[in-house]
Amino acid sequence: MKVVAVGDNMLDFYSNLQKKYLGGNAINFIMNLQQDTAFHLSYVGPIASDKAGIKLMSTLKENSVDINYSNVIEGNTPLSTVEVKDGERAFNGLEMGVLEGFYIDNHQIEFIKGHSHIHTSIMGGIINQLKDIHGYSSISFDFSILRNKRIITEALKYIDYAFYSGTRFEKEEEDMLLEACSFGARHAVFLQGKVGSRVYDGNKLYFHSAEKGRVIDTLGAGDSFIAGYMSVILKGGSIKQAMEIGTQWAFKTCSHHGGFLINGAPVEV
């Protein structure tokens, strides 16, 4: 099965550690999914010509991720500054770099349509182009903490699996899941960190508690959950099975710095 992640790549700068690791929503998703050999993976996005961009290209190629339809652009890799305290990460700044103004062209759209599943996010830069890729593949979209109803409502017309994040789950958040399915989403998923996750499928609201244990860094945990969840759903598994695997993958990511591991370590630049 062919799966493509579209949108951002990022350099996560840990200010308290003075270390930089490759990441970003799309990259974390695809590199976590890479551990499941059932999928043939691609990444479409803007890759900078700098040291981090070169490292990203080699990392993706070495792990059999097709990047032939990504743009290599003169400039800097997007930089996210984070600080981790007691396992919780806080974002302290974002430099957009080559992600500024990113959009997919017709050539890339045709390539993306050739996949069974497409994943992107609010950071991916293509929310206004979902209509161009809708109808050919299933689409998962990570809204993260976005709550702008106008933007979400417009995007939901084209999304099969909607993901949201937050620290609380009350009536407003439950209504958000119900609304997503009313617009046509097959599943609406809410990630609530150390509490757990919830999924609404248009009929029933499911809950799965988070795993308990030592947390080093929560950055990328949501991307890992989504990758694990979709790995099960795309192979015909149940929601309960998908939540279980998503939870396991998220907890594993919380055990280390960075959003994914290669040979047991995050990719440092």
241 domain residue, yes or no: yes
Helix (H, G, I), strand (E, B) or coil at 34: coil
Question: For position 16, what pLDDT does the model report?
Answer: 87
177 domain residue, yes or no: yes
Q: What is the pTM of this model?
A: 0.96
At residue 90, does pLDDT exceed 90?
no
As for how many domains the chain has, the answer is: 1
Domain that holds residue 131: 2-100+110-253
22-69 pLDDT per residue, tens? 999 999 999 999 999 999 999 999 999 999 999 999 999 999 999 999
Confidence of residue 87 (pLDDT cuts 50, 70, 90): low
Confidence of residue 91 (pLDDT cuts 50, 70, 90): confident
Burial class (CB in 10 A: 0-12, 13-18, 19+), 60: buried
105 domain residue, yes or no: no
258 domain residue, yes or no: no
CATH number for the domain harbouring residue 168? 3.40.1190.20
Q: What is the mean pLDDT of residues 222-230?
A: 98
End-to-end CA distance of the chain: 31
CB 261 within 8 A of CB 232: no
- Treating both helix axes as pointing N-terminal to C-terminal, what angle do 149-156 and 171-182 enclose, rounded to 10 degrees? 30
Question: For position 108, what pLDDT does the model report?
Answer: 97
132 domain residue, yes or no: yes
